[in-house]
Structure 1
Amino acid sequence: MIRPDLERLPAYVPGARNERALKLSSNESAEAPLPTVAEAMARSLAQVNRYPDMGALELREALASHLGVEVGQVAVGTGSSALCQQLVTAAAGPGDEIVFPWRSFEAYPIFAQIVGATPVPVPLTADHRLDMPALADAITDATRVVFVCNPNNPTGTTITTSEFTQFMTRVPADVIVALDEAYFEYNAATDTPVATEEILRHPNVVGLRTFSKAYGLAGARVGYAFGPEPIIAALNKVAVPFSVSVPAQAGALASLSLVDDLRSRTTSTGAQRDRLEAFLAPYGTPHSEANFVWVPAEALRAAHGVSPQEAAATLAEADLLVRAFDEGIRITVTNQEEADTCMRVWTEVL
């Protein structure tokens, strides 16, 4: 009764959990939502006997104003990951291809396989950055979507505006480019593409952002996509009805006006990220513009003779949870106290 190809579908692996451990295995904020946001969400609970606004019109209007686009150019969903899946669902099917950097967000190949499309991973460069010429080389007549994760998860690296511009000259007009900016609020790079600008230059670019990271609403599950109206309309057609809850819409709406508070939080996170980068410099950790840092697998093996999975298991025994991939370890950055604990435990057990 189940599609046989699903046996080959990899399961999405969330960050490890342990109530007594310091959890730096998921890219989430250690800070609770700001008081006014929590209050707005609490007030909204009186309305949860009713379905949420399926079109999330008030939130979309606020986002459109925030982004400088029309309301019809904005879609909301249960996190940017859901919108990535909706984009693939709307654009691709069996026989089509989805191109993406690798390693990058681990759900990209899953989304491709869910619709029966072929995932086409493109290796990163030796310095853990997206290889934009190679991404362009991977595009064929069967390609429907190319994901560009900037900053890239899990390496935190960014691409330059010139790299993206040159890449777009090689992308056919009928191929959608998803500029995944889930960590946009942490990105202080001055020379890097920004989706609100790129959608004006290219009618096949869609931007994707989320309230899960910098805004501290990971548990509420609300993200947004923006771009050409025909693509956004298609995203909405394949959305699960009423998926963004009443409290999620209220929290996101209240968050948008707190520009100074958000900047204060991201600046603080950036300072701790710089500390962890300096601490991990002997491992060749690249500069990150996200709320995490990357430790390459080859450096772990050279320094300690262990794989990322073995290092993560050792750290977990000392109540420090990090995220292990075959290619390396990703460590979420939160606040000074947790960064101090991370560096202390790392030094003691590795």
Structure 2
Amino acid sequence: MWDEYRSNEDSDYSAVALDLSNNALPFAPLPSVRKAIEAEVDRAADYPSAAYGSLRRAIADFVGFSPDHVIVGPGSVGVLGYIMRRVAGNGGRVVFAVPAFDAYERVVVDAGGTAVPVPGTESRWQPVESMTAAAGDDAAAILICSPHNPTGERVGLDEIERLLRWVPRHTVVVVDEAYIDFDHTADPTEIFRLIRTHANLVVLRTFSKAYGLAGLRVGYAVGDAGLIGACRTVAMPFGVNRLAVAAAIAALEVGDELAAQVDSVIRCRSLFSAAARVHGLTVAESGGNFLWVPMRHPAPLVDRFSRAGIAVREYPDIGVRITVPAPEHLDHVVEVLADGYSRMEASACHR
């Protein structure tokens, strides 16, 4: 499955004028975050704290747990690797829906686990009941992504609660909430109450998306203290650098400014969706900072974007994912999208 996406993942986008392929935030770090980064530059020769005590405490205060419930790593994908190594490292089966975040299969396999992809459809990209059936009684873990990457589909808290009741206690349920800050239909704190009653639930989050720190690589997970402590024993020493630690702590302290940035992305997402629909495209409701355009033959549209100097993410035979651009780029992106789609429609009519 990974090979399907390799052509996109391994591409060099340094020459593109606009990269809308990786769902990065189109803003520079906020002033106080930038100041925190700059203050650490003179200490770049020093290793960070091996236990990341200050960052774990800051995250723990933010989510309402003790630091023993928190693990940090180089992006949420790095933290997921630690979790998979601990719970599935001896060939354990790990269930997730496809299409999915491109790295899931690689992380599971690299950790020594066995990937069990469950196909989704346009009616339900993450079919929770089918995933539960595929897990059976012996799966090491189930991965749920909400909002879902790449489609933006949401998985409700009630569905996650049912899933936790269905699976055995030894099956770890990882809920990847990389895009939760862009989903204003959900309470981002609500899922944490489930951790207090379900020792097999782990919530995965990142500073790469809403916090705009993708280049610094820092993410975290919250879960049962025993499970999280076990995962920390296999974590890479000094995996998060000093600048990332300082930036993440500062980012947690600028909630109002961050909320304003997120709100601007959500407004732009709404304008983007509406404009796409005006031009006749089917665009799914999205809980992320991206739009999903389902289509059987996305290559021509992706090529049209490429010729316009815009990188988007193609999922062969399924669709295209497009990061919500900065407001000043929206009109141009919509123009290219509409032109590419109209050319596809005209070509189909002449077949």
Aligned residue among 170, 187, 210 for 2:206? 210
Q: Which residue of 2 aligns with 1:324?
A: 314
Q: How does 1:126-141 map to 2 (within 5 A)?
A: 126-141=122-137
Q: C-alpha displacement at 1:172, in angstroms?
A: 0.6
- Kindly state the Cα deviation for residue 16 of structure 1 after the two structures are TM-superposed: 5.3
Residue 105 in structure 1 maps to residue 95 in structure 2: no
Residues 178-187 or 11-20, more deviating: 11-20
Paired residue type of 2:330: A
- The CA deviation at 1:284 is 2.4
Mapped pair 1:175 → 2:165: no
Counterpart of 2:305 in structure 1 is: 315
User: Which residue is equivalent to 1:297?
Assistant: 295
Choose from 33, 38, 42 the match for 2:34: 38
CA distance in 2, matches of 1:42, 1:314: 40
Q: Which structure 2 residue ranges, 5 or more long, are not aligned?
A: 342-351
1: distance between equivalents of 2:259 and 2:188?
Answer: 19
- Could you give the per-residue CA deviations for residues 288-320 of structure 1, whole angstroms, max 9, x where no partner exists? 01100100123xxxxxxxx22332122101112
Give the superposition deviation at 1:23. 1.1
Q: For 1:251 and 1:208, how far apart are their aligned partners in 2?
A: 19
Please, which runs of 5 or more residues in structure 1 have no aligned partner?
A: 1-5, 299-306
- From the superposition, tell whether residues 14 and 235 of structure 1 become closer, same or farther in structure 2 (CA, over 3 Å): farther
Q: CA deviation at 1:335?
A: 2.1
Contact 1:12/1:107 (<8 A) preserved: no
Q: 1:71 and 2:61 equivalent? A: no
> What CA distance in whole angstroms lies between the structure 1 residues aligned with 2:75 and 2:39?
22
Inter-CA distance 15–128: structure 2 relative to 1 (3 Å threshold)? farther
Q: Give the TM-score normalised by the residue count of structure 2.
A: 0.90
Q: 1:285 aligns with which of 283, 286, 292?
A: 283
Q: In 2, distance between residues paired with 1:9 and 1:262?
A: 32
- Check the 8 A contact 2:118/2:134 in 1, yes or no: yes
Greater CA drift, 12-21 or 70-79: 12-21
Residue 247 of structure 2 is aligned to residue 251 of structure 1: yes
- What is the count of residue pairs matched by the alignment? 337
Q: Which residue of 2 aligns with 1:345?
A: 336
Q: Which residue of 2 aligns with 1:302?
A: none
Q: Is the 8 A contact 1:79 1:210 kept in 2?
A: yes
Q: 1:313 to 1:156 in 2, by over 3 A?
A: same
How far 1:223 sits from its partner (Å)? 0.5
Kindly provide the CA deviation profile for residues 25-66 of structure 1, in whole angstroms up to 9, marking residues without a partner as x: 111011000011011101101111111111110111111010
* Cα RMSD (Å): 2.3
* Equivalent pair of 1:15/1:26 in contact (CA under 8 Å): no
The counterpart of 1:17, out of the listed 13, 18, 25, is 13
Q: Which residue of 1 aligns with 2:344?
A: none
Query: Is the alpha carbon distance of 1:214 and 1:105 closer, same or farther for their aligned partners in structure 2, counting shifts above 3 Å?
Result: same
Q: Distance in 2 between matches of 1:127 and 1:273?
A: 22
What's the counterpart of residue 348 of structure 2?
none
Q: Contact 2:268/2:326 (CA < 8 Å) preserved in 1?
A: yes
| Residue aligned with 1:287, SS | coil
CA contact (8 A) 2:181 2:188 kept: no
Change (3 A) 1:103 1:193: farther
Please give the TM-score of this superposition, normalised by the length of structure 1.
Answer: 0.90
Identical aligned residues as a percent: 33
Q: Distance in 1 between matches of 2:80 and 2:135?
A: 18
**CA 1:32 to 1:8, structure 2 compared with 1: closer, same or farther past 3 Å?**
closer
Q: What is the CA–CA distance in structure 1 between the aligned matches of 2:66 and 2:102, rounded to whole Å? A: 31
| Kept after mapping to 2: 8 A contact 1:181/1:208 | yes
Match of 1:304 in 2: none
CA distance in 1, matches of 2:313, 2:8: 13
Distance 1:193 1:172 in 2: 25
- Check conservation: 1:9, 1:110, Cα contact below 8 A: no
Contact preservation (8 Å) 1:25, 1:332: yes
Q: Which amino acid aligns with 1:57?
A: G
Moved more, 282-291 or 262-271: 282-291
**Offset, 1:69:** 0.3
Q: Which amino acid aligns with 2:131?
A: L
Deviation at 1:195, TM superposition (A): 3.1
> More displaced, 209-218 or 13-22?
13-22
CA distance in 1, matches of 2:291, 2:5: 28
Q: Does 1:156 align with 2:152?
A: yes
**Other structure's SS at 1:201 match:** coil
Which position in structure 1 is the counterpart of 2:115? 119
